[in-house]
Amino acid sequence: MTWLYLILAGLFEVFWSITMKLSQGFTELRFASLTVLGLITSFGFLALALKSMPLGMAYPIWTGIGAVGSILAGLLIFHESINGLTWFFIILLVIALIGIKISSQH
């Protein structure tokens, strides 16, 4: 369950980053409210994961899921663009996240 909590925490981090963008600087109340709800949910799942997972492993995976997910959301939802060098570093980030998972005892 710990890994499920951590993955859900990361996915809700992506959710709140999308809704924050849609909130137009917190001027759209519906999306601003969803942002706060997503933040609370993300932190809640992270807290559950941290009950049985070391902080030094959980936090970088949580932020990594959020970072990669937000980049993909920017590309797919907001039609943002990134260059080849940025793609290279995104791939390195994903490799690092997989390495953290493989090397962990959890």
Q: What's CA 64's distance to the chain center, in Å?
A: 6
Mean pLDDT by groups of 10 residues along the chain of 106 residues: 96 98 98 98 98 92 94 96 94 90 76
The pTM assigned to this predicted structure is: 0.88
Write out the E strands in the chain: none
User: Would you state the structure tokens that stand for residue 38, as one six-digit string?
Assistant: 């997503």
